[in-house]
Structure 1
Amino acid sequence: MVHTDQYQGKLVLVVGLAKSGYAAARLLHMLGATVIVNDGKSIDDNPQAQELMEQGVEVICGSHPLSLLDRPLDFIIKNPGIPYSNELLVEAEKKNIPILTEIELAYQISEADIIAITGSNGKTTTTTLITEMLKNSGRTPQIAGNIGVVACEVAEQATMDDIIVMELSSFQLMGTDEFRPTISVLLNLFDAHLDYHGSKQNYVAAKARIQAKQEESDYLVYNASDDLVKDIAEKSHATKIGFSTTEVLPDGLDVVDGFVRYRSKPIIATSDIMLPGSHNIENILGAIGASILAGATLTQIQFVLKTFGGVEHRLQFVKELNGRLVYNDSKATNILATSKALEAFDKPVILLAGGLDRGNSFDSLIPSLQGVKAVITYGETKDRIAETVRKTDIPTLELVSTLTEAVKVAYRESTEGDVLLLSPACASWDQYKTFEERGHAFIQAISELPK
């Protein structure tokens, strides 16, 4: 950790605890800041707040009183999950109080170089690929960020012999100021989180912050086939490395004659890549580009691509069961993610889908349903998904209440050579607290099927 005195004596308000807020408050307190913690949960149900209070941190729980802004705050650290529409944050912006996320704090204290990855889809897969590719490279990769590991905690422990591989959401990037990764990766941009950002323009602007402070000595690895990404890259001061699955890029990463290439040099045959799905080739190209720039060996890159079967809950291969291939894509919480998953297979698919009902139609899923032989839908959205399926020629449609029931029906409707795919196209919150919990429930239900 860089031992900085820039926070000494600063008055900082940390809004929202959870893992990132707790870590930021603890770190700032250790660095000599005067920290006030404000969390919506009551103090009685908040062990993190109680622990901080025992360390001498001022804690105000149960509401977000505007009177907090009467103090001469130097800045606010905001939990990414709290929207900017929160009244306290709205008033803070009016007072021109800087609102940051702990990502900025992580950058300021990190001795290690940072590789930062963002995009609408594929962040976790790409982040994990880079981390695996950098093993045996001479520096130890440390995974952090939106993937579930608090960035400032990792930065606190990292040394110059490490390299931090950081997955970043638009929520996290929106709260950065001087953040400057050595290598940034921008995968793709689709409509997402518009309820949080208010408009697509704001969402794209948040994502663009990943490279906003980069200079020529830094690198931007970007999707040259995505127009929104290209627009950001054209304005970037970083050294640019493009990738594309549809264009030939002699100075970048591309796919030609069945080979993934870097600067026209073949890296690996696409037939040797274990990770399924054409969309994952883009993630792989981004990962290869960042990894080579960071010092990964060709041998390690090839080994990872030949053996890596996917991130847990993201098109994760579970097992072969009596001739059926079982995949867990519980992280597919929107229609676009499920479309990408369906397009990954050239075998007949039994699709299990359903979850939280947000009132939207699923008709945009229709073009991706061509290879589906049966849909088993469950949960709050089962009727809405069924409406869409009835507009296709899919021969089998079953509506059930729970995911466990859906697994039993899906297996019953399947034959050898089929793919059993959980790709819900919905959030999990009608029946499960998280998509991870849903994925584990799916795997458990699969394990209980007859062998």
Structure 2
Amino acid sequence: MQKEQQQLAELVKGKKVAFIGAGVSHKTLIEEFVGLGAHVTLCDKKNSVDDFGSYAETIRRLGIDLSLGEHYMDGFRGQDIILRTPGFEYYQKPLQDAIAAGTLVTSEVELFFDYCPCEIVGVTGSDGKTTTTTLISKFYEAAGRKVHLGGNIGAALLPMLPDVAPEDVAVVELSSFQLISMRKSPKIAVVTNVTPNHLDHHKDMQEYIDAKRNILLHQVPPCREVLGYENDITRSMVPDCKGKQVWFTRLHDTDNGAFLRGDGMLCMAEDGVVTPFLAQKDIKLRGLHNIENLLAAAAAVWGEVPVEAIQKVGSTFTGVEHRIEPVRVLDGVTYYNDSIGTSPTRTIAGLRSFDQKVILIAGGYDKHIPYEPLAPEVIAHVKDLVLMGATGPRIEKAVCEHPDFAASGLTIQHADTMQHAVELARAAAQPGDIIILSPASASFDLYPNFEVRGREFKKIVNELK
């Protein structure tokens, strides 16, 4: 057992440890913690052990205590350690009461930060963080480094700990839910932008902003911070920076960071030297927002990897699933899956990626964020709008109340299901048209996450006759 794994074992051995929920990462960790000698309690809204399906057998085999049902948070009392899941709101009273009573409240990601022996690069933001995180990981891989990729991007990091060596690099996507309680920051921190999001879970916009700031607040020099210049909130984070702060920007030249020059070259300016490193025409990623993601990723690794590694990845990487992902061409109509469009700003970026008006499928779960900023973009970039889900009426109201709607010729239809939405969009399409799923909303009204939503859309499209 390596040193870091031994330290984790010393933390949990003989301790009473509560896990909130049995998601994928917690299932792995529960077994590991029991093996390390912890006395585990699983706290979950489910009403009985049988509600866990096939995992019920594991619960019984491991002898885990259960605190279930309406009062599942009663299980927090008397615990030495509580591992929360990102979806569990940090400021709920039972959790804060446990902290006040001396319980260590932490998470899988926080424990990874505590014990990880290698350099950590962290990325957060309202938009663009998954593509930026993926690009950074590929830059390091192209330079020959072993990369441990995880966090909000899907893979649990703490179970990777036994395989992490000091010379490796961990590249971590961090959501506001993960950051809100973190007390360690990565050596290299990227904040792409901060726009209204997840206001159904955060008390207000300030709490959301403060959670994002945690990626910077606990850095220890020498360190690096990459901030989006075009976003007012990220620009205001400069006083939080403790190391070498650089910008990324698509719209301005800068003498401190990565930028898109007027001649179409992506450049990095640092220490008085401007280095052009990639031509915009050679980039395979669709959309101007992905130029920004490339600039952010390059600024993060500049000086850490050879320029040739950035050029190689930048000119070959075609994108991440569910992000303006081409699905199929049928009857001359091209279908795109942009299910990652879980907020208006993400959908706006997707719409601006095309040089013609599109047929848009939008709507979903309501995160209580404003849709007025989406309205002019829909009018400018959409010819037919197919709405579904809880936010469908809210999007329609914002669009119809915009002063340019009456003269736009935009048609609006409503669908009950994804199948219905695809059928309506297909019926409205002519050869040469583009149909894009970019909901500007979360998926939780009909799907567990945006990935499942995107895959159902692709399945329906690929089964069209």
Q: Shared fold (TM-score greater than 0.5)?
A: yes
Give matches, 1:11-410, under 5 Å: 11-41=16-46, 42-46=48-52, 47-48=54-55, 50-52=57-59, 54-64=61-71, 68=75, 70-71=77-78, 73-177=79-183, 179-257=184-262, 258-263=264-269, 264-295=274-305, 297-356=306-365, 362-369=371-378, 370-391=380-401, 392=405, 393-410=408-425
**Cα distance, 1:169 vs. partner?**
0.6
Amino acid at match of 2:148: Q
Cα distance in 2 for partners of 1:137, 1:214 equals 25
Task: List gaps (5 residues or longer) in structure 1.
Answer: none
Q: Tell me if structure 2 keeps the 8 A contact 1:389–1:397.
A: no
Cα distance in 2 for partners of 1:324, 1:66 equals 51
Cα distance in 1 for partners of 2:97, 2:56 equals 24
CA 56–226 in structure 1, closer or farther in 2 if over 3 Å, else same? same
Task: List gaps (5 residues or longer) in structure 2.
Answer: none
Cα distance in 1 for partners of 2:371, 2:207 equals 25
Deviations 1:392-435 (A, max 9, x none): 11343333332223223323323344321111122333433332
**Cα distance, 1:159 vs. partner?**
2.3
**Cα distance, 1:330 vs. partner?**
1.2
**Cα distance, 1:34 vs. partner?**
4.2
Tell which deviates more after alignment, 75-84 or 358-367. 358-367
Q: Tell me if structure 2 keeps the 8 A contact 1:109–1:156.
A: no
Q: Tell me if structure 2 keeps the 8 A contact 1:353–1:376.
A: yes
Q: Tell me if structure 2 keeps the 8 A contact 1:106–1:156.
A: no
Tell which deviates more after alignment, 412-421 or 308-317. 412-421
**Cα distance, 1:361 vs. partner?**
6.8
How many residues end up aligned between the 2 structures?
447
Q: Which residue of 2 aligns with 1:442?
A: 457
**Cα distance, 1:106 vs. partner?**
0.9
Cα distance in 2 for partners of 1:361, 1:223 equals 22
Give secondary structure in 2 for the equivalent of 1:211.
helix
Q: Which residue of 2 aligns with 1:425?
A: 440
Deviations 1:223-248 (A, max 9, x none): 13323223323222122222122232
Cα distance in 2 for partners of 1:445, 1:281 equals 30
Cα distance in 1 for partners of 2:159, 2:71 equals 26
**Cα distance, 1:291 vs. partner?**
3.1
Q: Tell me if structure 1 keeps the 8 A contact 2:344–2:373.
A: yes
Cα distance in 2 for partners of 1:206, 1:212 equals 10
Deviations 1:15-42 (A, max 9, x none): 2221233334344444454443322223
Q: Tell me if structure 2 keeps the 8 A contact 1:38–1:64.
A: no
Give secondary structure in 2 for the equivalent of 1:376.
strand
Cα distance in 2 for partners of 1:443, 1:403 equals 10
**Cα distance, 1:48 vs. partner?**
4.1
Amino acid at match of 2:317: F
Give secondary structure in 2 for the equivalent of 1:210.
helix
CA 209–436 in structure 1, closer or farther in 2 if over 3 Å, else same? same
CA 336–266 in structure 1, closer or farther in 2 if over 3 Å, else same? same
Q: Tell me if structure 1 keeps the 8 A contact 2:360–2:437.
A: yes
**Cα distance, 1:302 vs. partner?**
2.3
CA 308–325 in structure 1, closer or farther in 2 if over 3 Å, else same? farther
Q: Tell me if structure 2 keeps the 8 A contact 1:277–1:343.
A: yes
**Cα distance, 1:68 vs. partner?**
4.2
CA 265–398 in structure 1, closer or farther in 2 if over 3 Å, else same? same
**Cα distance, 1:57 vs. partner?**
4.4
Give the TM-score of the pair, scaled to structure 1: 0.89
Q: Tell me if structure 2 keeps the 8 A contact 1:353–1:423.
A: yes
RMSD, matched Cα: 2.6
**Cα distance, 1:379 vs. partner?**
4.1
Cα distance in 1 for partners of 2:221, 2:42 equals 38
Amino acid at match of 1:299: E
Q: Tell me if structure 1 keeps the 8 A contact 2:340–2:450.
A: yes
Give secondary structure in 1 for the equivalent of 2:312.
helix
Give secondary structure in 2 for the equivalent of 1:208.
helix
**Cα distance, 1:279 vs. partner?**
1.9
Q: Tell me if structure 2 keeps the 8 A contact 1:144–1:154.
A: no
Give secondary structure in 1 for the equivalent of 2:235.
helix
